[in-house]
Amino acid sequence: MRFKLLLIFLFSFSVVFSQKKIIDSIFYSKVLNKSSKFHFQENFKKASYYFSEKKWDSALIYSQKQLNIANNQKLILDYCHLYRGISLNKKKAYSEAIDQLSQISFDFEFSNRVKIYLAATNLKLKNYEKAIRYLKFLEKLPIEKLTYIDINDVYRDLSICFLLLKEYKQAEKYFSKKISNSRDSLSLINDYINIANLYYNQYKDDIAIPYFKKAYELSKKLKIHENEVSISELNNKKRQIFERKTVTALNMSIVEQNRKKFQDALKYIKEYKKWNDSLNNHNKIYEVAKLEKEFAVQQKQNEVDILQVQNELKETQRNVLFYSALGLFVLLGISLYFYREKVKRNKIIASQKENLDALNATKDKLFSIVSHDLRSSVNALKTSNGSLVKNLDSNNLSALRNLLQKNSAIVNGAYGLLDNLLNWALLQTNQGYFSISSLRLFFITEQVSYNYQPLLLEKELSLENTVSKKDIVFADQESLKIVLRNLLDNAIKFSKPNGSIKIYSQNSSDDFCDLIIEDTGLGMSEATRLELLKDTALLHKKEHEDVIGTGLGLQLCKSMIRKNNGKFDIESELGKGTKMIVSLPKNPSNE
């Protein structure tokens, strides 16, 4: 019967030992709050999260990963060992838990709480002497140092250790301290049972039995206030009350049997069965309710999972539609881009083809005119030479003079045509030397006009050069001479005998100086003037059948004036003469 009482004692001890949830919850919250400043370490942050969620395996994995990192701060190491020690304790790996907890620094903020874990774990491993050393250290601390520690737990564990070591006086001492500090009825009942068992196992029945009776009487006073607690707490409290009533009634029945008071023992046995049946029924109801709750939670979780899968499916469908639409838009954009580029290229090609066709037409027309004029000149020269031979035989000096003058004019015209053709070819292929510099306009015009004196005398034309000697322009000297020669050629060609040609300058603006070659010749219509100002105009003689011209010289002039950053214009009336106006820049900034 003594053995039965000891089992009851150990059972009640296990019930008391589990009553630490509130203190543990406060302690965990404080630890997690203090350690949050190290959450910049990803592994430590995950270890803290899984520790808070009581997922001990994951907490062990990530705390070990953090420990494997070099140069950890001391405080991070202490928190990691704390996480690992508590997690291993929960997984009942008690030796490994002690190893981790023992590595925590003595000056760690929660080091006293760590000693509680070390004492409890050593107690589970039956290392009673080691457990006592940790508990004795805590007992000696002032109350303000016992943060997150209930001193009654220290007294209780010391009493248990000494009892299991059969040091009854020490066990009695700490049981008495525990009883004097107990304020909760449930805890006090356990304390009475524990100290009663202590004395009863020493065969001090006269001391033990009053404690058994105190525990029994106190259990009868236990009541449930259903409006004060939640449903889960209410169920837990009911179970604890039924357990106390059952244990105290059973203890009293055993005591009365040992005292041979079988009538009283029978009464307590009936009461024990009553409370035991209530406890079993409550446990069954609780287990059923728990299973129903778990089933409801599982059902709700299944619904949540289904909804989540549906949402993920819808999200996937939306993403597929979105990316498909995006892909189509991108493809459409690329297609539009290439289509626009193709249209642009086609326009460029069409424009280039049009320009090329115009250039080819101009080239064909140019060579047709040049070849025609050269052939005409050579044919005229051949015919004139035949006449020259005939007149030479007859010694007709007057006819010979006229023929020679005619031959000279034909040769000069052909030479001028070839010279223009050469300069035009060099200009088109960018092979000519070209250098813009400052030039005094008077000296250039004087030099060019001097070379035309014989031709002017022959055609009985007067030439007046009134260009200002102060006028300075910026141009290429050789190309300017070619322009002047062609314009003077045209002025002489289209002037009648006894006519006049004037060369003069005028400053129409601050940027340009106008050089004007004015003649009193045949002039031209407005349509011809506009046609000549076009960049591609290559003309035969139109209004004047007695004057042969290709238009190449004027085209060459316009190109060279443009290359000298100048401008070209014509003023003319049919039968009243023509003004050719060349505007040249006065300073290099207009280049």
Q: What is the CATH number of domain 21-149?
A: 1.25.40
Query: Best-predicted range by mean pLDDT among 144-153, 235-244, 274-283, 506-515?
Result: 506-515
Q: What is the CATH number of domain 296-431?
A: 1.10.287.130
**Cβ contact 152:181 at 8 Å:** yes
pLDDT digits (tens, 9 = 90+) for 370-419: 555 555 566 666 666 767 666 776 777 777 666 676 666 666 666 665 66
pLDDT band at 179 (very low <50, low <70, confident <90, very high): confident
pLDDT band at 85 (very low <50, low <70, confident <90, very high): very high
CATH superfamily of 433-590: Histidine kinase-like ATPase, C-terminal domain (3.30.565.10)
pLDDT at 316 over 50: yes
Could you give the residue range(s) of every CATH 3.30.565.10 domain in the chain? 433-590
What residues contact 244, with CB distance under 8 A and at least 6 apart?
A: 186, 189, 190, 215, 219, 222
pLDDT band at 75 (very low <50, low <70, confident <90, very high): very high
pLDDT band at 359 (very low <50, low <70, confident <90, very high): low
Residue 10 is predicted with a pLDDT of 42
In terms of Cα–Cα distance, which of 391, 488, 474 is closest to 434? 474
pLDDT at 590 over 90: no
**Cβ contact 138:154 at 8 Å:** yes
In terms of Cα–Cα distance, which of 170, 211, 187, 153 is closest to 15? 187
Asked which of 235-239, 289-293, 321-325, 342-346 is least confident by mean pLDDT, the reply is 289-293
CA–CA gap between residue 283 and residue 304 (Å, rounded)? 30
pLDDT band at 226 (very low <50, low <70, confident <90, very high): low
Could you give the residue range(s) of every CATH 1.10.287.130 domain in the chain? 296-431
**Cβ contact 515:477 at 8 Å:** no
In terms of Cα–Cα distance, which of 103, 40, 96, 55 is closest to 77? 103
pLDDT at 131 over 90: yes
pLDDT at 233 over 80: no
Sign of CA dihedral 474, 475, 478, 484: negative
Could you give the residue range(s) of every CATH 1.25.40 domain in the chain? 21-149
Residue 67 is predicted with a pLDDT of 92
- Rounded mean pLDDT of 220-225? 74
pLDDT digits (tens, 9 = 90+) for 435-469: 888 989 998 888 888 888 877 888 888 999 999 88
pLDDT at 63 over 50: yes
462: which strand partners?
500
Q: Which residue has the tokens 């404080």?
A: 30
Residue 18 is predicted with a pLDDT of 43
